[in-house]
Amino acid sequence: MGGKILLAGIDIPGIRGFDVYRAHGGYAAVEKALREMTASEVGQEVNRSGLRGRGGAGFPTGLKWSFLDRKSDKPRYLVCNADESEPGTFKDRYLMQHLPHRLIEGLIISSYALGVNTCYIYIRGEFKYLVGILETAIMEARQHGFLGDRILGTDYSLNIYVHPGAGAYICGEETALLESLEGKRGNPRIKPPFPAFKGLYGCPTVVNNVETLAAVGPIILMGGETYSKIGRGKSTGTKLISACGNINNPGVYEIEMGLPVEDFIYAPEYCGGIANDKYLKAVIPGGSSVPILPADLMLNTAKGEKRLMTYESLADGDFETGTMLGSGGFIVYDEDACIVRNTWNLAHFYRHESCGQCSPCREGTGWMEKVLYRIEHGLGKMSDIDLLVRVAKNIEGNTICPLGDAAAWPVASAIRHFRKEFEFHVKHPETVKNIHHGALNIEEESLIPDSGTGIKYW
Amino acid sequence: MQSAFGIIKTMKNSNIIHHPRFARDGKSVAFTPAVLAKVHALILRYPEGQQKSALLPVLHIAQEELGGYLSVDAMDYVATLLGIQPIEVYEVATFYSMFYLEKMGKYVIEVCRTGPCAISGGEKILAHLQEVLEIKPGETTPDGVFTLKEVECLGSCGTGPVMQVNSEYYEKLTPGKVDKLIEDFREYANRNKPGGLSWVEKFC
Ligand SMILES: Cc1cc2nc3c(=O)[nH]c(=O)nc-3n(C[C@H](O)[C@H](O)[C@H](O)COP(=O)(O)O)c2cc1C
Ligand code: SF4
Ligand code: FES
């Protein structure tokens, strides 16, 4: 396998500090790019690498950079998206905490390639403890001549600033993020115009995820061609996967794209199998916004091929029998997880996080939450299930930003694959009323977990 | 006013906003000179004429330095500092979940309620906290020490259940761990400043 690229050196004591990082080959990529390459050569390497955005959509990074309006005489900006709030996702946090200089290095090279002199890192406000780590890393880089005026004696200058958000999932959406960075409410903008033409302060702007930008340094060092051979097909390179839920080893793993899902879940060096020897029931493999899949479809595609950790394989079967790689937030559910309760929980999340600009999203997320609350608490009707499907369909594609879709997909997919469980809730209201996670084995008394939590919502 | 309906009570000055959240107590608020210097340095991180960009970081600082929540006086003060209209501050302060518009307990306990935490014990932790503190989410203990809140995913799903107390993360929680933490906080509550480094200290 390709070994560690993004997380290379993570186990070296003190690697968070500049001196140790530098002693282990750090900032060699910046030296190579700024001294030996032109800005457009850097862009070409990234293009050649096949690197795709790690923030969720998987859009080719080189292509995105090529859209940047270079004719405009306004300043250009690079904004690093460190908002990381997609449920199940905690990879960027891990990277910034342990290897802040890998990100700074990526930001310098990317800014150079884009002709940017000011770069902002928009980080979610809850990661307050990381703000200090990033500020220190930036200060160290400046002291050693890698930031500020005339970097390494070239005529290229760059400043990087950390900008904290203040608790709003929607600010991860790139145009909401830009609004927030301008000191406003995080209301997504209507596109077009795209940020490449009118972004921050109306200037040409590129927004990229932390992991995407951190990959740029290694790509420059090894060459785009070499990077593109790692991985599988159009899913090149390595990907950070944050694994959580009912598994033995939750954590952040750097995998080579193409790893079979089965290996990822069961191999001891990754998730290490399902905790407490339970059965695997379902997985949401790319953050809460992507469709949930039952165990059999997660391990093998509908065609019977092994499901792989790539953009293409996970999406195989589209929304009927497939899902998405998304942000790499890999959430594993064991036999005791109640899909209805989980769907209601996530519906609550999206209702809470909708910015409220578009009626289908603002109202639809509220309706879905209410109807799911009903079903989960033994107050549902059979017709509620199709009502949910209908509401989800009416949100999808009818909103300004993709949060509407992100709210609709989990509900639609949960019903598609676990309709029986929804029906069970409607048919047996007394049984489900006090059970939280544990609906699959509802008929076997012994497997009903001790609910007794006494939580009252609403 | 006398009318056919008897005496009608009308408000005299319709320009005053009568809403509990907008009660000004007339005390003037201001940062210390040291904090003010940091704030001015922060504003310079953004291009000329874009000083409004500093609003979120400055509101974080204001909340911490001016009483643990954003009073109307504090928000008006921030508006003056940034040269923007007070309404531009209010609309932002009401949008983001980390800004508090009411007085909070000394320790604000924010428990993640979202899916991954919920399936790994988060529901139990929240229930336990309600029992121990004898308050519901959104409430503050009568002694003013604790406020309990539910929040959405904190980006800590692999080490859940998780809660944040005054911006510090506490992960892999169990009811026993929670009891110990609450005990510690009660003990610390008499000291001056709870929590770790302040926002001002975070920015170089
Ligand atoms: C509701 C919503 C939330 C998002 N949250 C994040 C996020 O937390 N982090 C992130 O990098 N991208 C997030 N994105 C994706 C960004 O809009 C954007 O596509 C991404 O930052 C582009 O970077 P990339 O090309 O490097 O992936 C979100 C998108 C939506 C619609
Ligand atoms: S889809 Fe939802 S979150 Fe996105 S702009 Fe519309 S209301 Fe806001
Ligand atoms: S779900 Fe609790 S931290 Fe992500």
Same domain, A180 and A318: no
Between positions 89 and 108 of B, the ones with CB within 8 A of A are: 91-92, 95-99
Provide the whole-model pTM: 0.93
Same domain, A46 and A105: yes
Same domain, A310 and A440: no
Task: Tell me the longest C-alpha to C-alpha distance in chain B.
Answer: 69
Q: How far apart are CA A112 and CA A115, in angstroms?
A: 5
Same domain, A225 and A235: no
Same domain, A210 and A72: yes
Nearest by CB to residue B96, choosing from A118, A167, A349, is: A167
* Inside any domain, residue A205: yes
CA B53, chain centre distance (Å): 20
Which residues neighbour A278 within 8 Å (Cβ) at sequence distance 6 or greater?
Answer: A246, A334, A335, A336
Which residues neighbour A313 within 8 Å (Cβ) at sequence distance 6 or greater?
Answer: A301, A305, A307
The beta strands (E) that lie in A185-335 are given as 205-209, 231-232, 235-236, 238-245, 251-256, 280-284, 293-294, 329-334
CB of B118 closer than 6 angstroms to any ligand 3 atom: no
Among residues A280, A304, A334, the one where a domain terminates is A334
CA A271, chain centre distance (Å): 18
Same domain, A256 and A145: no
Same domain, A274 and A365: no
Rg for chain A, CA atoms, rounded: 23
Parent domain of A285: 231-334
Query: In B, which residues are within 8 Å of A333 by CB distance?
Result: 119
Q: B157–A162: do the CB atoms touch at under 8 Å?
A: no
Same domain, A179 and A314: no
* Inside any domain, residue A458: no
Q: How far apart are CA A221 and CA A106, in angstroms?
A: 11
> In this predicted structure, what is the pLDDT of residue A183?
98
Q: Is-cis flag, bond preceding A360, omega within 30?
A: no
Q: Residue A184: what residue type?
A: K
Question: CB–CB of A114/A158 below 8 Å?
Answer: no
Q: Residue A360: what residue type?
A: P
> In this predicted structure, what is the pLDDT of residue A437?
64
Distance from CA of A44 to the nearest CA of B (A): 30
Q: A453–B114: do the CB atoms touch at under 8 Å?
A: no
B118: tokens are 């919920």
Among residues A334, A368, A383, the one where a domain terminates is A334
> In this predicted structure, what is the pLDDT of residue B28?
80
* pLDDT tens, per residue, chain B with 204 residues: 677 878 777 666 656 555 666 667 767 899 999 999 999 999 999 999 999 999 999 999 999 999 999 999 999 999 999 999 999 999 999 999 999 999 999 999 999 999 999 998 899 999 999 999 999 999 999 999 999 999 999 999 999 899 999 989 999 999 999 999 999 999 888 776 556 678 998 887
Specify the CATH number for the domain of residue A30: 3.40.50.11540
Q: Give the up-direction half-sphere exposure of residue A390: CA atoms within 13 A in the CB hemisphere.
A: 7
Residue of chain A with shortest Cα separation from B91: A185
Residue A236 vs residues A263, A322, A328, A352: alpha-carbon distances, Å: 19, 20, 15, 35
Same domain, A235 and A225: no
Residue of chain B with shortest Cα separation from A179: B53
Q: Give the up-direction half-sphere exposure of residue B29: CA atoms within 13 A in the CB hemisphere.
A: 24
- Name the closest ligand to CA A342: 3
Specify the CATH number for the domain of residue A393: 1.20.1440.230
Between the CA of A353 and the centroid of ligand 2 the distance, in Å, is: 9
* Inside any domain, residue A381: yes
Residue with tokens 């980390």: B98
Query: In B, which residues are within 8 Å of A181 by CB distance?
Result: 53
CB of A87 closer than 6 angstroms to any ligand 3 atom: yes
Q: B118–A342: do the CB atoms touch at under 8 Å?
A: yes
Between the CA of A170 and the centroid of ligand 1 the distance, in Å, is: 9
The domain made up of B107-189 has a fold known as Glutaredoxin (3.40.30)
Q: How far apart are CA A167 and CA A127, in angstroms?
A: 10
Q: Enter the CATH code of domain B21-95.
A: 1.10.10
Same domain, A174 and A284: no
Same domain, A215 and A145: yes
Mutate to test the interface with A, among B50, B52, B154 (most CBs of A within 10 A): B154
Nearest C-alpha neighbor of A413 from the set A310, A328, A336, A314: A314
What ranges do the domains of chain B cover?
Answer: 21-95, 107-189
Among residues A198, A229, A260, the one where a domain terminates is A229
Atom of ligand 2 at shortest distance to CA of A362? Answer: 7
Same domain, A38 and A171: yes
> In this predicted structure, what is the pLDDT of residue B27?
72
Contacts of A184-190 with CB under 8 Å at 24 or more apart are A184/B52, A184/B88, A184/B91, A184/B92, A185/A355, A185/B91, A185/B92, A185/B95, A186/A355, A186/B95, A186/B96, A187/A355, A187/A357, A188/A355, A188/A357, A188/A400, A188/A401, A188/A403, A189/A400, A190/A400
Which residues neighbour A305 within 8 Å (Cβ) at sequence distance 6 or greater?
Answer: A313, A316
CA B40, chain centre distance (Å): 22
- Angle between helix axes A100-114 and A91-98 (nearest 10 degrees) is 100
Mean pLDDT of successive 10-residue stretches along chain A, which has 458 residues: 83 97 98 98 98 96 97 97 97 98 98 98 97 97 97 97 98 98 98 97 98 98 97 97 96 97 96 93 96 95 96 95 97 92 96 97 97 93 97 96 96 96 90 62 35 26
Between the CA of B116 and the centroid of ligand 3 the distance, in Å, is: 6
Q: Is-cis flag, bond preceding A193, omega within 30?
A: yes
Count up the domains in chain A and report the number.
3
CA distance from start to end of chain B: 61
Q: How far apart are CA A410 and CA A392, in angstroms?
A: 9
Question: CB–CB of B158/A245 below 8 Å?
Answer: no
Residue of chain B with shortest Cα separation from A340: B115
- Name the closest ligand to CA A365: 2
A25: tokens are 């080959």
Nearest by CB to residue B56, choosing from A88, A180, A341, is: A180
Query: In A, which residues are within 8 Å of B194 by CB distance?
Result: none
